[in-house]
A and B are shown apart, each in its own frame.
Chain A
Amino acid sequence: MAVYLLRRTAFLVVSLFLAGVVLFLLLRLLPGDPANSLLSVGATPDQIAAARHQIGTDRPLPEQFASWLGQMATLSLGTSFVSTLPVGPEIAARLVVTVPLTLLAFLLAVVIAVPVGFVAAHRAGTWYGSLLSALSQLGVAVPVFWVGMLLITVFSISLGVLPAGGFPTDDWASPGDALTSLALPTVTIALVMSASLIRYVRSAGLDVLGSDYLRTSRALGSSFTMAMWRHGLRNAIVPVVSILGIELATTFLGAVVVESVFALPGLGSMLVKGFAQHDYPVIQGILVVSTFAVLMIGFAADVVQRLIDPRLRRSLARDAG
């Protein structure tokens, strides 16, 4: 396990570096001069040169990359062109909305998907097993922002029980208000996300239910619940965990669209604004932070998978030996 952790950490560091290279090149190779966004129309060539010097885009690419790496290593994400405020604290303030939204939606999706997916597998072939599968088919095909719009229509406009959007200006000072404003966005993401999760849980469940070891365990006298608890769950959970890692990352980044529907001041709306204003440091900062988050989630999912599946540990020992 220690060898694996070392190797996986090394891989994480390499991935972070490679992601940095990709991001840097993407942002630099895009047509359009970042200096232009600092200036008004009709700037003189001297002003343009001065602006380029100020941002540092007049230096050779390798030199720019080196100083960029230095910045990233010290976690200083630069200052916004538009607001002239440092990007880092602004992102941190936005994460206060995006991270709880992601985690709440993720938890709710798991709470919905695991039992429903299992029942869909256990009762496959009966009418309500098929109904559950059909519902998850539907959920996979529904655009997430449309679900948000429909929920707003029903719960905010018709019933008037939950806010249609926005977030308290004092963030989490009154947790009740903050949670209320996150209620509809959370349900929106969780509904769509659980639909695809149900399909994975159902297929993992079908594999386990049809397995020889479960039948053997039952033949040896275990009750169904006992056999599932001892053997079924442990096997079913392995593929589900790796999917959960991907889903968590997708939710974090997919929050961009849902935050727009509900006018939430999160990372997503900051990114949309940054793009509209060609505010390169803002775009870059958000991309760096989210890439970092996605890679860390992948790392965590891989490690957890090793911990719960002894077979993976053994095959790795063979590789290393």
Chain B
Amino acid sequence: MSAVDAGMSAVEADGRRVPRSVTLLTGCVLAGLIVAVAAVSLLWVPYAPEDTSGGRLTPPGLPHLLGTDKLGRDLLTQLMIGARVALEAGAGSVVIGGVVGLAGGLAAGFATRWLDDTISAFLDILIAFPTVLVAMLVTAAREASLGSAIIAIGLAMSAIVARLTRVLVKRVLAQDFITASRTSGTSWPRIVAEHVLPNIWPTLSVNLALQFGLAVLAEASLSYLGLGAPPPNASWGRMLQEAQASVFIAPLGVIAPGVLLVVLVIGVNLIADGVRDVADPTRRRAR
């Protein structure tokens, strides 16, 4: 019995040092691929993004490896820049949504019942507005750009993050160690820093990773509707919209951006699942 126990814990200890989770590994490879492409695009792309010298809808081959789009732009170049735009959209939205949502959720979590009810009611209403609507309002106020899209997606996300944070904060604050800490004279800001944030972070970070994937999809939808980054910033969503009419002459223009979107989002989702599995032993048994 003890031998089995020792064996189990050795595997677990090992699993903690090097994540053995296939899910996590697959996720890292898929998302890492897109990150690598985006990183390369910062240093080098085959053609300038506005270069339309390639001729319209050239089939894949040399000198344009993946062919050109309907304006004669190099598809590979556009895809590489698109990777960067997608990652910027995801990261920017998560930063905005995370900071605003965390602040709002902490406020609601610490608030008195009346204030808490009011904040919760507002959050429910904000969540009722989908990202696309919020984005339309933001773009109506500003103009269609990557920044507008990121602000809109981040704001829409912040309501979801705030609601989750609020629940998590309430759960931590109900614990005995908080009472003990208060009794021994710890100030509220120190309690937040030392007890609340470290305790809510595991769940919150997994959720933020999932939100990253949703933000990438939202940016693609907005660009598809013409509400995203204007040229020369290539966005996978806009590329799909532009390629839709020429799907039979140049099928790669419709397939490639979509596949890359799926690869990135699945990668990030798998990382989130994998981290959750590694961090939470109760879920490992369930699978």
Identify the A interface with B (CB < 8 A).
Answer: 11, 14-15, 18-19, 22, 26-27, 30-32, 124-125, 137-138, 140-146, 149-150, 153, 157, 206, 210, 249-250, 253-254, 256-257, 260, 271-272, 275, 278, 283, 287, 290-291, 294-295, 298
| CA gap between A149 and B125 in the complex, in Å | 32
B137 at interface (Cβ–Cβ under 8 A)?
Answer: yes
A140 to B262, CA, bound (A): 9
Which one, B9-17, B68-76, B94-102, B263-271, is touching chain A? B263-271
Residue of A nearest to B243 (CB): A149
Contacts A124-B287, A138-B262, A149-B247 given; indicate if A294 touches B128 (C-beta within 8 A): yes
With A149-B247, A153-B247 known, 8 other A-B pairs at CB within 8 A are A14-B121, A26-B137, A141-B261, A142-B265, A143-B221, A150-B258, A257-B224, A295-B125
11 contacts between A and B (CB under 8 A): A15-B125, A18-B122, A19-B125, A22-B126, A142-B261, A143-B221, A145-B237, A150-B258, A153-B254, A256-B130, A291-B128
Give the interface size class of chain B. 35 or more
Inter-subunit contact B132/A253 (CB<8 Å) = yes
Closest 9 CB pairs of A and B: A141-B265, A146-B258, A294-B128, A253-B130, A141-B266, A30-B141, A19-B125, A275-B136, A141-B262
- A140 CB contacts on chain B under 8 angstroms: 265, 269
Would you call A295 and B128 a contact (CB within 8 A)?
yes
Contact B141 A149 (CB under 8 A): no
**Set of chain B residues within 8 Å of A11, measured between Cβ atoms:** 121
**In the complex, residue of chain B having the shortest beta-carbon distance to the beta carbon of A130:** B287
CA distance A250 to B220 in the complex (A): 17
B220 to chain A, nearest CB (A): 5
Do B270 and A137 have beta carbons less than 8 Å apart?
yes
Interface residues of B (CB under 8 A from A): 121-122, 124-126, 128-130, 132-133, 136-137, 139-142, 213, 217, 220-221, 224-225, 237, 240, 244, 247-248, 254, 258, 261-262, 265-266, 269-270, 286-287
Contact of A145 among B139, B140, B221, B270 (CB under 8 A): B221
For residue A63, give the distance in angstroms from its CB to the closest CB of chain B: 23
Q: Is the interface of B mostly helix, strand, loop or mixed?
A: helix
A137 pairs with B266, CB closer than 8 A: yes
Q: How far is the CB of A97 from the nearest CB of chain B, in Å?
A: 18
Q: In the assembly, what is the distance between CA of A11 and CA of B124, in Å?
A: 11
Known contacts A141-B262, A149-B240; decide if A271 and B128 are in contact (CB<8 Å): no
A225 nearest CB across to chain B (Å):
24
Query: Which among B133, B217, B262 is the interface contact of A253 at CB below 8 angstroms?
Result: B133
Q: Which residues of A contact B139 (CB under 8 A)?
A: 275
Q: Using Cβ atoms and an 8 Å threshold, which residues of chain A touch B126?
A: 22
A141 surroundings in chain B (CB, below 8 A): 213, 217, 261-262, 265-266, 269
In the complex, the number of residue pairs spanning A and B with C-beta atoms less than 8 Å apart equals 112
Given contact pairs A22-B125, A31-B141, A149-B244, A260 touches B225 in the complex (Cβ within 8 A): yes
- Shortest Cβ distance from A125 into B: residue: B287
Question: How many angstroms from the CA of A153 to the CA of B136 in the assembled complex?
Answer: 28
A30 B121 Cβ-Cβ under 8 A:
no
> Which of A146, A254, A275, A291 is in CB contact (< 8 Å) with B261?
A146
**A125 contact set on B, CB distance < 8 A:** 287
Of the residues B140, B221, B262, contact of A257 by C-beta under 8 Å: B221
Query: Is A144 a contact partner of B221 (Cβ separation < 8 A)?
Result: yes
Q: For residue A142, which residues in chain B have a CB less than 8 angstroms away from its CB? A: 258, 261-262, 265
**A residues less than 8 Å from B254 (CB atoms):** 149-150, 153
When A14-B121, A15-B121, A257-B225 are in contact, do A146 and B240 touch as well, CB less than 8 Å? yes
Bound state CA distance, A218 and B140, in angstroms? Answer: 60
On whether A298 and B269 interact (CB within 8 A), knowing A32-B140, A157-B247, A275-B139, the answer reads: no
* Residue numbers in A under 8 Å from B287 (CB-CB): 124-125
Q: How far is the CA of A210 from the CA of B258 in the complex (A)?
A: 38
**Bound complex: CA A3 to CA B18 (Å):** 55
Whether B137 pairs with A271 at a CB distance below 8 angstroms is no
| A298 to B221 CA separation, bound complex (whole angstroms) | 25
The residue on A at minimum CB distance from B264 is A141
**Which of B125, B133, B137 has the largest count of A CB atoms less than 10 A from its CB?**
B125
Closest chain-B Cβ to A38's Cβ sits at a distance in Å of 16
In the bound complex, residues from chain A placing their C-beta under 8 Å from that of B213 are 141
Given the complex, which residues of A lie within 8 Å of B261, measured CB to CB?
141-143, 146
Q: How far is the CB of A130 from chain B (nearest CB, A)?
A: 10
Most chain A CB atoms below 10 A, which of B133, B248, B261, B286: B133
Smallest Cβ-Cβ distance to B130: which chain A residue: A253
A157–B246 CA distance with the chains assembled, in angstroms: 11
Complex contact A18–B121 (CB within 8 A): yes
Residues of B within 8 A of A150 (CB): 254, 258
Interface centre among B121, B213, B220, B221 (most CB of A within 10 A): B221
Alpha-carbon distance A210/B125, docked complex (angstroms):
36
Q: Report chain B residues within 8 Å CB of A250.
A: 130
